[in-house]
Amino acid sequence: MRIGAIEAGGTKFVCGVGNERGSVEDWCSFPTEHPETTLAKVCDYFRDKGVDAIGIGSFGPIDLQPDSPTYGYITTTPKPDWSNCNVVGALKREFPVPFGWDTDVNAAALGEMTWGAAQGLDNCAYYTIGTGVGIGLIAGGKRVHGLLHPEGGHMRTRRHPKDRFAGICKYHGDCLEGLAAGPAIEARWQSPGSELPIDHLAWEIESFYIAESITTTILLHSPQKVILGGGVMQQDHLFPIIRKQVVQNLNGYVNMPETVRDIDRYIVPPGLGQRAGLCGALALGLEALEQAAAASSF
């Protein structure tokens, strides 16, 4: 079985081919340019691959309602040229196979549940803290969809007392993404996060905001595992600070072993490492193939 996977990011696209065991046999990556150019490169990549299905985990917001005329579109993104872009439609014309389609973070959450840190669980939260901030959610073994899909990266948090930065979200200013995404760190300190020393105030502030959001997610969604991925989380010294802050925030109210004694195994990096996004898309493609097979056997 050959499954195509596309991690459609605002900065770069990653395309790959893998199998039902989650192993990626081949992949390539290119920068996100104008949709026509980028989607043409995606088609070129898959043309000789003979895939049975394709899964796409995309930056958003995206349309997930199967009966909507704009199903498969990226909708209101501030990214130039990509708003109202029919991603699934453009690829379906070239590849008449089942398509899986969801947000990058919902896909990554599914990948982690299938092959990574959340295996055996049926409820988890997957954060990416990178160019943007997104939170993917699984509940009852299913990716959470509703009116749209969760957009937890745009929720506001309490302010860190030492932080006067206005925030850079184009829609909300100081939402979580506006305060804590990689570009927000860079704008606040005039230096990319990767160049700031680990004892810099930046990391106390960053951990504070991430911990605020995780606390809210625990109270609202009750995940069995919280997985933190994305470029900023390569600063792995943030993990112990975030865990300690979450325990303090909960203050014994959610008094489960996971949120106190076993917090080191509760808030964790992706089990699939840097491949979490691509494997998530692979898991979506696999799911689409299984659903198509089940529908045709009726």
User: By the criterion CB under 6 A, which residues form the site for ligand ADP?
Assistant: 9-12, 128, 130-131, 182-183, 186, 192-194, 230-232, 234-235
- Beta carbon nearer to ligand ADP, 51 or 278: 278
Q: Does 169 bind Zn ion (CB under 5 A)?
A: yes
- Beta carbon nearer to ligand ADP, 168 or 232: 232
Partner whose footprint covers residue 215, from ligand ADP, Zn ion, none (CB < 5 to 8 Å by kind): none
CB 105 within 8 A of CB 223: no
- Beta carbon nearer to ligand ADP, 32 or 157: 32
CB 56 within 8 A of CB 72: no
Partner whose footprint covers residue 86, from ligand ADP, Zn ion, none (CB < 5 to 8 Å by kind): none
Q: Name the residue type at position 262.
A: D
Q: Which of residues 79-118 bind Zn ion (CB under 5 A)?
A: none
**Closest approach of Cβ 295 to ligand ADP, in Å?**
33
> CA-CA distance, 60 to 65, in Å (whole number)?
14
Length of the chain: 298
Partner whose footprint covers residue 100, from Zn ion, ligand ADP, none (CB < 5 to 8 Å by kind): none
> CA-CA distance, 14 to 31, in Å (whole number)?
9
Q: Name the residue type at position 274.
A: Q
CB 109 within 8 A of CB 125: yes
Q: Does 225 bind Zn ion (CB under 5 A)?
A: no
The DSSP output letter for 118 is T
Partner whose footprint covers residue 172, from ligand ADP, Zn ion, none (CB < 5 to 8 Å by kind): Zn ion
- Beta carbon nearer to Zn ion, 58 or 157: 157
**Closest approach of Cβ 51 to ligand ADP, in Å?**
23
Q: Does 228 bind Zn ion (CB under 5 A)?
A: no
> CA-CA distance, 290 to 199, in Å (whole number)?
49
Contacts of 275 (CB under 8 A, 6+ apart): 24
- Closest residue to Zn ion using C-beta atoms: 169
The DSSP output letter for 169 is B
Partner whose footprint covers residue 182, from Zn ion, ligand ADP, none (CB < 5 to 8 Å by kind): ligand ADP
> CA-CA distance, 5 to 150, in Å (whole number)?
22
Say how far residue 128 (Cα) sits from the centre of its chain. Answer: 5
- Beta carbon nearer to Zn ion, 173 or 192: 173
Count CB atoms within 10 A of the CB of residue 161: 8
Q: Which of residues 172-211 bind Zn ion (CB under 5 A)?
A: 172, 175, 177
Distance from the first to the final alpha carbon of the chain: 22
- Beta carbon nearer to Zn ion, 154 or 221: 154
**Closest approach of Cβ 228 to ligand ADP, in Å?**
11
